[in-house]
Structure 1
């Protein structure tokens, strides 16, 4: 009898509890959902909870659930699955993530964020995920509210929390959500749990530099774009070097969807399409985006400039089949449209580059000369002019003068930025008969790159040292070149030549014998051996060496045979 009464009492209490539940609970629980995340092999990674905070699909959950995930779906109270489209912000310290769910244009039930934080001892309730149409919830009170991040709170609640309730919403008595339930870290898990401020979770966002955020990097799901076009463009730039091409294309599509009147979006997508293009149909998409960019661009000259640059770069790739009218002439036509609107130095520089590619060197030089008289003048622009003069076969002094103007743009001690230009000026100085000055540039280059040079560097510097009659330096540099690349017989032959020039004929013979050990059919080695032997008054040995060189096909030895062996 007592057992029957006890059961009846519990039933009455349960009915009383449901009856006392606020009417808003049933509707609010529809905003709570289950989350399933998947790994790289598309296997289930984690399951948990979350809830909608806007009718257009913005939702909150715990970061731990999403860490390492490559995709995720939510399952609402009616059992309908919806994909997680993008992560909008995350904080791994407080274990929160904000994301957007694909809802196919339909509105979803969403909770209202609390406008004020509940005070200590305020009655609150937690709504679990459920597919049942009931008003069950867990009641409790705020025990503590500790301030975080200046204006948000971390709550301690007098409430029992089951594992399956993590990241469910914690509500005020009037039905506003103020927190996300979190795992209890203490021992008293039966009566105490915790919640992070929902407004703190909502404050998480994606900024221009978010691709450096380790919390966001830990999630493989696509990231949402920042809130402003300017920041979104920086975000695109950062994403371009960190995402796979297909993933980056998705981000570009999102940008264009969000900012349909931004020429930058179409130009960037055109560039990416060009990189991925495999046939004429894909090239048609590139052209369509370029046309759309021109249509929406506020600065038409900038659009023409980008069109010219894209066609020019396409031509530099030397395609097997030219796409429609995408020739250098077309690129030149586009850049001149930009110049007609505003003659910016950067446009004129592009014009020069296109003319250089067309091998119209006088016209290219005229463009570069204009740039070098503008505020865009730089080491690179003077270098372009110098190379053009070189292609025009101008006097070596004119080329060198331009390279001097190039190097003036740098200050000593030189850094790696100046290193390529130092090598070019060294060669220009060699062409102008200034071997000693060339050596100074080679030495400066060596310091600029902290001695990280290859065998070719030592060979080129040896050539300068030889012309400057600094024979010991020439010998030392050739020894280093051979040490770095012992199979290149040119270096050994050159070392023998320098030794012969300074009268070290025995040393020359030893070098050449070592070369023949690498390649017994190296004809030039026999010819040089003969020259050393002539210097040593060993005529018969020299003639034998010359004969072997001729046998191996060295035509340069004929004059030596005629002179010494007849």
Structure 2
């Protein structure tokens, strides 16, 4: 025990002696060391600490703990100047490091990161933050070097560390920074300290998936874009639906500034501006300027025309109260035509069909969709779109049926919840074509695909197919199920009345009509149907009274019955 105390005293004395032997590079290097103040959501001081610059453009390193939960941070350099932290460049909570950027008005003093680790027993120096020229330097030695992060280092040092020295730079004899000082742990806190490699801290970056990085999301200061262009684009795409608008706009501006020849940046920013246009019409002018710039800088102008067409198409789909300039479906068509003149890609043809469909030019839309079905982009959706456009254009129902058959045949078997709606749509088309049995088959397949998880409306539609297909018991079963699921829907009781009439169950039919009238005493069709049932039971007087009530309630379909049976 006494021996350990003596060793600790020796280390302290050695450190004090070394502090007096300040290296020549120290005075210049200390200008790169700074103090940091972080603030919480209410702009109250959260924590204070240290760090240092590693680039003249303002890249700094510090400890992650200092920045966790912070909404704002300020760096105070060796000259006492305050520099707001502009963006977080990377972080690692396990090794407690953060990399960030400030925006200095001019070049600032920065430390050079060592490219290799010092050997055991090599001298090291801790450089504290100080606004005084005579800021002391604490000397020590490397005790142990371990590898982290593949090729980076973590150091155990024979060097005393005070709490206010955390995240100050640890330097080698050549005046290069090797690490960030970290809090001591264990029993010997007097002479032993630790440092995480500066190279490791510098290697921390924002990547395309960093929006889900807990270390970064715990810091509420804006994150910078990834340093690789393609990754930055992916990050922008993901950030558009996650980040607050102001922060996303800053990222867009940063991307455009960093990559002024990349058309995607202008197009994405144009989309952002257009989305703001409803509340601030001046944003449309900015969007237009970005679209024009995208065309100027792009080497693939068909893609830019396509994206402009898609933006204007989406804008029109939002049904603006007043259209901005020429942002019409016609302009969108002009842009997508320009894209196809350069390269007639299937996705361009698909968008042409969508624009024509939205503009209610259904015949032309169907032709565009049919062209898509003859490309590699052919899918159940493209055949469905062609069928729908054909139907709305007034084409022969047989053409619509053929396209819906192609749509369903393209679906992977067995059907899934995603493809099952195509069965419903084909069943509807079959019904219009009076193909009731095939419609019933589609309804049954839909039911099986969803394992019976259907609502009352489904049972009503399937009942219609069964009834018109002359499967009356199935029709009765389905309408009974629809009533069970929605007992307040009067039209279901009316349908039940009609089926019972068809199979000559007249008293059951009257009960169904009475059930409808109990829900809605002003339901004219209910009185008419009840009267028809009573005619079948030779209750002519009662029937005519119900016909009169139906007429009184505005049911014009009853006039012929009154003319025939009640004169």
TM over 0.5: yes
Residue 291 of structure 1, CA deviation: 0.5
Q: What residue number does 1:323 align with?
A: 324
Deviations 1:361-413 (A, max 9, x none): 33323322222222222222212211121012112111011111122222111
Pairwise CA distance, 1:18:
5.5
Q: 1:27 to 1:448 in 2, by over 3 A?
A: farther
Q: Deviations over 1:427-458 (max 9, x none)?
A: 11212222222223233334444554443333
How far apart, in 2, do the equivalents of 1:503 and 1:390 lie? 37
1:190 to partner: Cα distance: 2.8
Partner of 2:10: none
Distance 1:150 1:280 in 2: 52
Q: What is the distance in 1 between the residues matched to 2:501 and 2:185?
A: 83
Look up the match of 1:129: 129
Structure 2 residue 73 is the aligned partner of structure 1 residue 67 = no
**Within 2, Cα distance between the matches of 1:14 and 1:398?**
92
SS of alignment partner, residue 150 of structure 1: coil
Residue 134 and residue 535 in structure 1: after superposition, are their counterparts in 2 closer, same or farther (change >3 A)?
Answer: farther
Q: CA RMSD in A?
A: 2.5
- Check conservation: 2:497, 2:513, Cα contact below 8 A: yes
Work out the CA distance in 2 between the residues paired with 1:69 and 1:509. 73
Counterpart of 2:164 in structure 1 is: 164
**In the aligned structure 2, how far is the partner of 1:201 from the partner of 1:544?**
91
In structure 2, relative to structure 1, the CA distance for the partners of 1:344 and 1:501 (3 Å cut) is same
Mapped partners of 2:485, 2:246: distance in 1: 42
What secondary structure does 2:414 align onto?
coil
Matched residue of 1:23: which SS? coil
Partner of 1:361: 362
Shift of 1:110: 0.9
Worse-superposed segment, 362-371 or 110-119 = 362-371
Q: Which moved more, 1:511-520 or 1:192-201?
A: 511-520
Deviation of the 1:23 alpha carbon? 2.3
- Quote the Cα distance in structure 1 between the aligned partners of 2:79 and 2:483: 76
The answer as to whether partners of 1:446 and 1:453 remain within 8 angstroms in 2 is yes
Q: Does 1:213 align with 2:216?
A: no
Q: Which moved more, 1:125-134 or 1:406-415?
A: 125-134
Residue pair 1:21, 1:135 contacting (<8 A) in 2 also: no
C-alpha contact (below 8 Å) 2:169/2:178 kept by paired residues:
yes
Give the distance between the partners of 2:481 and 2:148, measured in 1 at CA: 63
- Farther off after superposition, 254-263 or 276-285: 276-285
Q: How does 1:436-455 map to 2 (within 5 A)?
A: 436-449=437-450, 451-455=452-456
Counting only pairs closer than 5 Å after superposition, residues 218-237 of structure 1 correspond to structure 2 as 218-237=218-237
Secondary structure of residue in 2 paired with 1:243: coil
> Shift of the alpha carbon at 1:258?
0.8
CA drift at 1:152: 1.9
TM-score when scaled to structure 2?
Answer: 0.91
Query: In structure 2, do the counterparts of structure 1 residues 377 and 17 end up closer, same or farther at CA, with 3 Å as the change threshold?
Result: closer
Q: For residue 515 of structure 1, what is the aligned residue in structure 2?
A: 516
Aligned equivalents of 1:467, 1:237: Cα separation in 2: 51
Distance, in Å, in 2 between the alignment partners of 1:79 and 1:85 is 18
Q: Does 1:260 align with 2:256?
A: no
Q: Is the 8 A contact 2:33 2:51 kept in 1?
A: yes
2:457 aligns with 456
> How big is the shift at 1:279?
4.1
Matched ranges for 1:337-486 at <5 A: 337-449=338-450, 451-486=452-487
Aligned to 1:116: 116
Give me the whole-angstrom Cα distance separating, in 2, the residues matched to 1:32 and 1:294: 46
Which secondary structure does the structure 2 equivalent of 1:112 belong to? Answer: coil
Cα pair distance change 1:445/1:271, threshold 3 Å: farther
In the other structure, the counterpart of 1:196 is 196
Secondary structure of 1:393's counterpart equals coil
Which residue is 2:545 aligned to? 544
Runs (5+) with no aligned partner, structure 1: 1-11
In structure 2, C-alpha distance between the alignment counterparts of 1:23 and 1:320, rounded to whole Å:
71
Q: How many residues align?
A: 554
1:484 deviation in Å? 4.2
Residue-by-residue CA offset, 1:217-273 (whole Å, 9 max, x unaligned): 222222222222222111111111211233212111111011101111111111111
Instruction: Give the 3 Å change call, closer, same or farther, for CA 330–14 of structure 1 in structure 2.
Output: closer
CA distance, structure 1, for counterparts of residue 126 and residue 484 of structure 2: 75
Q: Distance in 1 between matches of 2:40 and 2:443?
A: 53
Q: Please report how far the alpha carbon of residue 310 of structure 1 lies from its aligned counterpart in structure 2 after TM superposition.
A: 1.7
Corresponding residue of 2:94: 93
| 2:8 aligned residue | none
Determine the C-alpha separation between the residues in 2 that align with 1:192 and 1:378: 67
Name the SS for the 2:292 alignment partner: helix
Q: 2:5: which partner in 1?
A: none
User: Does 2:36 align with 1:35?
Assistant: yes
Maintained 8 Å contact 1:37/1:66:
yes
Residue pair 1:208, 1:234 contacting (<8 A) in 2 also: yes
User: Residue 530 of structure 1 aligns with which residue?
Assistant: 531
User: Structure 1 residue 14: deviation in Å?
Assistant: 11
Residue pair 1:29, 1:129 contacting (<8 A) in 2 also: yes
Deviates more, 1:556-565 or 1:209-218: 556-565
Is 1:18–1:135's contact at 8 Å kept on the other side of the alignment? no
Q: What is the rounded CA distance, in whole Å, between the counterparts of 2:34 and 2:162 in structure 1?
A: 16
Q: Distance in 2 between matches of 1:332 and 1:14?
A: 77
Q: Which runs of 5 or more structure 2 residues have no equivalent in the other structure?
A: 1-12
Q: What SS class does the counterpart of residue 410 from structure 2 fall into?
A: coil
